A and B are shown apart, each in its own frame.
Chain A
């Protein structure tokens, strides 16, 4: 007994140094990743705020206060891109999520035949790059494209309709393209969540005489709520930053009818006469919108 006590006393400080050592190893492991995020995300974010309060370009930037932010209230092009971006958001995101949930619940059925085929077919659009699918849809909906070929062939139209040359149809084409590209992507998240739900719940509901629609509303939807929140936030985030589609599918046109905020931001910063101050101010509006909409969605998601 007596000679065991000092040994124990000797062990405790040594053990502490081992855990300390391990903690240091942990810091060394995560440091590169943490520093990169600070350097490549947070630092430029604060720099953008600083730039948005300045005028001019390069080293000659001078303090401008809120000038760039005030300018937005008079900038009708900016306001138009805001409306266009929100049109995409309000129309596309809900429709896409509903489709994704319906598809996921159909594909979650264990007895479904050709399940692998359907699942791959729905997911395959997600493997195409944003530029590629933009160009496929641009070609399909061109005045001499395949969609017009069908419409004329069926006698619905006499000559090709200029989808990309009319403001509303150009926006519609972008929405259709977005639905095509992203529904399968969101479906995968819902499918993964559904696979975690015990199928006996549905068995019980069926025995109690619940219709498929009732099952969807009363069982599936409440259990999918966290996933709906996640996909809604991701999709909102993505839609507010739409660039590739606007740039490649419609070139923002006709005129500026389908121009998105990110595309406008790109034009301000990197085309014609670059204006970093005003461009970063516009980018801060996107940042604020992303944050506010995510907060609202989290609030609503919590209450329900």
Chain B
């Protein structure tokens, strides 16, 4: 009896938490298909206003430009960050010397530097270089991060050194060993890193807001944020914009979920 009561409490708690977790997302998705008036009246079922909201959104904001910009920024950052940080993490582990270990410790300190403390000089630096409103300015500060280097150093630790030796005897160059052997075997780490970097890049708001002046370089989070500046909020249109912005990261998460979990567990071990 007591046991059963415990089980009821456990499942009850988990169901309640799941409901609280999912409800705002459900409400967002449903509201995207309803008129603003229906949303205010408390509509909780899908409506027929999706096309209408979409039309309003297109008339109001440059949706496809924002989508393109967000994809270009996020994909170029992800590709560069994965390349630069995985090569570095691999080198810190495989070719480690005392000097390299010391350098790694210094780089790790950068994790404790809040972005708030660097954003103003960064802004000045990029405006001096006349790179305001460019993709380079958006992505350059976050291509190399201590977190990602550490993630790849950790995964290089589990990469058997015998294989490297064998490959060297077979006459493979160091660069080839990395690309032909390390890269393919560490797929789950790359998938985890990709998920994290892409999501952060896609969702980043403060830095793009500072560095992107031109309305042509608008990103998705900026577009969503712009919609609440008016006096009257069209909830249907607003939630459709939020839905489009969120759907991208949710889809990526579901595709990479399994390898994401494996990669994170592997890195923590």
Contact = CB atoms under 8 A, between A and B. Distances in A.
Interface in B201-253: 202-203, 205-206, 210, 220-222, 224-225, 227-228, 233, 235, 238-239, 242, 245-246, 249-250, 253
Contact of B115 (A42, A241, A280): A241
Interface stretch (B22-30, B51-59, B60-68): B22-30
A139 B87 contact: no
Interface residues of B, number: 88
B120 to A, nearest CB: 5
Interface in B82-110: 84-85, 87-88, 90-92, 94-97, 100, 103, 107, 110
Interface residues of A, number: 85
A120 B239 CA distance: 22
Contacts of B140: 36, 40
Contact of A135 (B115, B145, B149, B238): B238
Given A26-B100, A34-B103, A48-B118, A184 B40 contact: no
A248 B225 contact: yes
Given A26-B95, A180-B20, A244-B205, A128 B114 contact: no
B117 interface: yes
A129 B14 contact: no
Given A25-B95, A30-B91, A139-B238, A133 B253 contact: no
Contact of A51 (B88, B92, B121, B203): B121
A175 interface: no
B169 interface: no
Chain B interface secondary structure, helix, strand, loop or mixed?
Answer: helix
Contacts of A139: 31, 39, 233, 235, 238-239
B166 interface: no
A30 B13 contact: no
24 contacts: A26-B100, A33-B107, A40-B141, A41-B110, A44-B125, A48-B121, A118-B14, A122-B17, A129-B202, A129-B203, A129-B220, A130-B221, A132-B246, A135-B228, A139-B31, A192-B265, A212-B6, A240-B114, A243-B206, A247-B205, A261-B116, A266-B210, A269-B120, A276-B120
Q: Lowest 8 CB-CB distances: which A-B pairs, in order?
A: A26-B95, A33-B88, A129-B203, A29-B91, A36-B144, A44-B121, A121-B18, A47-B121
